[in-house]
Homo-oligomer: A and B are copies of this chain.
Amino acid sequence: MSALLETIARIRREVCDLHAELTRYGLVVWTAGNVSGRIPGYDLMVIKPSGLSYDDLTPETMVVTDLYGTPVSGTSTGGDGTILEWGNPALTPSSDTAAHAYVYRNMPDVGGVVHTHSTYATAWAARGEEIPCVLTMMGDEFGGPIPVGPFALIGDDSIGQGIVETLKNSNSPAVLMQNHGPFTIGKDARSAVKAAVMCEEVARTVHVSRQLGEPLPIDQGQIESLYDRYQNVYGR
């Protein structure tokens, strides 16, 4: 099999399997969340198909698109000269594909994107309020507060632009799009899923803490120390 086909098969399996983490941690209901992954070395990505329930996902149903979100399929010549086909034009990519694609086009180091409507993160997003960094694990993972992105309607690049503009100025791999929900990024799809899981975890814990008073702040220098150690010494 050609290198491209092998890579597509691997990323499709990874992206497919990672949706199980979204349901395991209760980040999504029905079909309302999606994971994508870049195909390294090509201007291609793999994303959840639209409307399929999580139980019915298989690697073959994951849709391959270009970095403008258009589904693509094609043929690839295997090592022995065989012509192999890939792509699944019968399925439509997630309705959030344009936002994922915009991120891949504009953030070349990003290899995975996740979108959910997880309850607590979305609750902060509905108030347009960033999550303050009051937990050591937030220092580790997010290096500061989790920021809010602008209100943006689906249909053009405004969601993608809001994600990229917000994350470019932040240590955080998560952004809370106002009235909408979190988008997270990572070096690959697995890292972006981890960020989505941790984003909901800290959104919930800080929410619960604030229900009965004000959490104690952590000094900016200590946050930087936690983040630096976790990202560089301990190795994320």
CB proximity of A185 to chain B, nearest CB, Å: 17
Instruction: Report if A201-B29 is in contact (Cβ < 8 Å); known contacts: A129-B213, A208-B207, A226-B154.
Output: yes
Bound together, the chains give a CA A135 to CA B181 distance in angstroms of 8
CB proximity of A233 to chain B, nearest CB, Å: 8
Chain A 200-236, CB within 8 Å of chain B: the 1/0 string? Answer: 0100111111111111101000100110010000100
Q: Is A194 an interface residue (CB 8 A)?
A: yes
List residues of chain B with CB within 8 A of the CB of A90: none
Docked-complex contact B137 and A126, CB < 8 angstroms? no
Bound together, the chains give a CA A12 to CA B177 distance in angstroms of 41
List residues of chain B with CB within 8 A of the CB of A25: 29
Query: How many copies of this chain does the complex contain?
Result: 4
Bound together, the chains give a CA A32 to CA B202 distance in angstroms of 12
Q: Is A155 an interface residue (CB 8 A)?
A: yes
- Give chain A's interface residue range (CB within 8 Å of chain B): 35 or more
- Which among A101-109, A117-125, A161-169 touches the partner chain? A117-125
Instruction: Report if A30-B215 is in contact (Cβ < 8 Å); known contacts: A122-B205, A180-B136, A225-B153.
Output: no
Docked-complex contact B198 and A30, CB < 8 angstroms? yes
Bound together, the chains give a CA A124 to CA B211 distance in angstroms of 10
Chain A contacts to B: CB under 8 angstroms: 25, 29-30, 32, 50, 95, 117, 119-120, 122-124, 126-129, 134-137, 151, 153-155, 178-181, 194, 197-198, 201, 204-216, 218, 222, 225-226, 229, 234
